[in-house]
Structure 1
């Protein structure tokens, strides 16, 4: 058993729905870890009798939180982050598709996978739902690297059989064969999971989406990830390609892709009825504020989605997203809310980045907070990582104010250590 003494903060429930007991904070806390799981979390004074069995590390002055959950990110776009361009569809043609073509090369995919996962851990992300390229080898490289780190990671090869350049499309049967092989080899291996991944409706024929729905039905414990209602022109083009659907969400629903473990990135322009239908069928949204702002897509209506019971997690959406840092992404989410007239509560922000993200991925029983029995994925945050942050937090009078300042001023520099299943996998310096 290992023990860590520090301040500890985690969420036991959605603080916007449970006013009492949702936020658990231990100023002088103790975290006990054994065999990759949390066995105790609470006040140091109360849990100190356990220390006879444990190896204690004193991290006083630091803050321990659950590892961050990224519900939407693109592995093959790491090299085009911060690439200048126009809005979504033009940006895909100009930057994304050329970058993703390189992932047909296994050596390139392997090198990129190492960097990509290092960057996630450096930013305190311990679980991610990831888009691969259309190439099977891209997902194999990512899974292989994640397995060596015992990381909880869900990924899938992108499905595209139309409206993409040569070399980035495949046939329905090729896609089916690749997915079934990846599911057989990797799904459930270690802490890995497979996600059926139609890029978006524009890139998939009816036959491709039908096949995707069949694979999901045959393997009900896999995930499904795609894009939904991100850009106005994209929405218009989708309506043209699927004239029988009542709206964009109905396209996916009609092919059996709206269900628990379905995660829809963006949903910027979704409205009440669509949110209600999504909630009723157990779907979730990945809120990606940095990419929505970077591509000029719009402002996600977080409060409206939550009011209809939709599960929401945070997504960095690298490479249109401009940071791997979930902390920095929360600061941008606050700004989006301000522009909509809905100020994001600091504890709700932390919930979205941890337990809320875990619930969006249907993993709330395994990760997302530091309750006993959960997998020991956690981060150690340095509250004096920068002179400005140190000074600002010293002036904060309440925990709420400290958490807010951390989400606005925090980034990768704040993350001192990252632990996966109780094993330190990254340490600053």
Structure 2
């Protein structure tokens, strides 16, 4: 057993933050041999019994001045776009054409894909991200690369080969029938291996033929525990394009429903330009939205409507959307989400609380993935993925932390002023 003494942040099932200034986190191998949380709470209440039970077998880690918190969950990210961050473009579609597609065409080369995957995984860990739902490219080798890199680091990773058999340039466009064969082969190779999961991944409706989307839906029905990921309603030009390509569909989101791609474990990035019927469809099917505020600001796509999403009881969580997103750091993403929440609901005086922002990037994102109680939290039974945060990592952060009068002020200071320097250690659940 490992016992950690520090401040401790975790979440109740209703999303409320639970905080122990003098906290205890105890981890030990579960029945499957994977390190899990066995106790979490106040040091004074828990330590006598746990230390007595463990005797001399417990390893105690004392981390004064630090906060242990759940590892962050990134609900939507493109690992092949690691080197596309910061590419200038007037909007989404030109950005794809001029930067993203040319770069992704290089991922047929396994050695190149391995190099990017290794850097990408290390960058996630450096920023405190312990689980991600990631796009690969249309090349099967790109999936093998990221799954291998994640497996070597014992990380929980969900990823998939992009499906795009039309409206795409040479080098990234795939063949309809072969793309579905490749997808099934990759599901059988990787899904459920160690901490890995597979996601059926149509890039977005305009780049898949009806035949490819139909095949993706058939695979989703055949493999009911795999994930589904795509984009929806990110940009008004994109919405108009989908209307031209699928005139019989009620809406952009309805295209996916028509092909059997709306269900639990389906995650749709952006989900900005939805109407009330779309939101009810998300709620009814238990599909989730990946909210990507830095990407939406960078590409001027629009704002996610938190108020209407909550009214519809939609599932959602935060995502970096690298490389449209501007940073791997969850703190940068939470900063942008706060600004977007204020800007998009100025009339209502909407302001996302720091506890809610943090929940969106941990336990809330885990719930959106259908992994509530498994990752994204530090309650007993959860896998022991956590970060050690130094709230005084910079002089300004230290000054702010010293002045914090309550938990909201402490968390908000880190959200607004924070970046990767806050993350002192990222701990991945050990396999014993």
TM-score, normalised via structure 2 length:
0.95
2:251: which partner in 1? 247
CA apart distance, 1:303 = 2.1
1:33 aligns with 2:27: yes
Change (3 A) 1:422 1:387: farther
Cα RMSD for the two superposed structures: 0.9
**1:140 corresponds to 2:144:** yes
Question: Residue 32 of structure 1 contacts residue 40 of structure 1 at CA under 8 Å; is this kept in 2?
Answer: yes
- Equivalent-residue separation in structure 2 for 1:186 and 1:78 (angstroms): 22
Pairing partner for 1:397 from 400, 405, 429: 405
**Residue from 349, 354, 361 that aligns with 2:357:** 349
Aligned-partner Cα distance in 2 for 1:23–1:92: 39
Cα distance per residue 1:239-280 (max 9 Å; x no partner): 000000010111000000010000000011112221111101
Equivalent residue, structure 2, for 1:427: none
Is 1:76 the counterpart of 2:70? The answer is: no
In 2, Cα distance between equivalents of 1:291 and 1:192: 26
Matches within 5 A, 1:187-266: 187-266=191-270
Deviations 1:134-159 (CA, angstroms, capped at 9, x unpaired)? 00000100001101111110000100
How far apart are residue 13 of structure 1 and its match?
2.5
CA contact (8 A) 2:338 2:351 kept: yes
- Alignment map for 1:366-381 (pairs within 5 Å): 366-381=374-389
Structure 1, unaligned runs of 5 or more: 16-21, 424-429
CA distance in 1, matches of 2:280, 2:144: 36
- 1:404 is displaced (CA, Å) by 1.0
Could you say which residue in structure 1 is the equivalent of 2:2?
A: 2
TM-superposed CA distance for 1:129, in Å, is 0.1
Cα offsets for 1:164-202 (capped at 9, x unmatched): 101211112111111111111110000100000000000
Q: Secondary structure at the match of 1:394?
A: helix
The match for 2:275 is 271
Inter-partner Cα distance in structure 2 for 1:115 and 1:5: 32
- SS of the residue aligned with 2:325? coil
Deviations 1:335-379 (A, max 9, x none): 001101221111111110111000000000311211111100100
Secondary structure of the structure 2 residue equivalent to 1:127:
strand
Task: Return the alpha-carbon distance in structure 1 between the equivalents of residues 311 and 120 of structure 2.
Answer: 35
Report if aligned partners of 1:14, 1:348 keep a CA contact under 8 Å in 2: no
Q: Post-superposition shift, 1:304?
A: 1.3
1:193-249 alpha-carbon deviations (Å, 9 max, x no partner):
000000000000000000000000000000000000000000000000000001011
Tell me by how many angstroms 1:23 deviates.
2.2
Counterparts of 1:33-182 in structure 2, within 5 Å, are: 33-35=27-29, 36-49=35-48, 50-51=50-51, 52=55, 53-182=57-186
State the partner residue of 2:426.
418
Query: What are the Cα deviations for residues 21-77 of structure 1, in whole angstroms up to 9, with x where unaligned?
Result: x32111100111112100111111112121234101110100111000000000100
* Match in the other structure for 1:321: 325
User: Deviation string for 1:295-354 (max 9, x for gaps)?
Assistant: 000111122112211111111000010000112100110000110122111111111011
Tell me how many residue pairs correspond in the alignment: 417
Q: Which residue of 1 aligns with 2:32?
A: none
Distance 2:379 2:300 in 1: 39
CA positional deviation for 1:422 = 4.4
- What are the superposed Cα offsets for residues 79-105 of structure 1, whole Å, 9 maximum, x if unpaired? 010111110001000110011011111
Distance 1:301 1:168 in 2: 33
Which secondary structure does the structure 1 equivalent of 2:192 belong to?
coil
Q: Which stretch shows the higher mean deviation, 50-59 or 328-337?
A: 50-59
Please say if residues 13 and 23 of structure 1, whose CA atoms lie closer than 8 Å, have aligned partners that are also in contact.
no
- With the length of structure 1 as denominator, give the TM-score of the two structures: 0.96
Measured in 2, the distance between the counterparts of 1:404 and 1:207 equals 47
The 3-state SS of whatever aligns with 1:60 is: strand
Q: Which residue of 2 aligns with 1:406?
A: 414
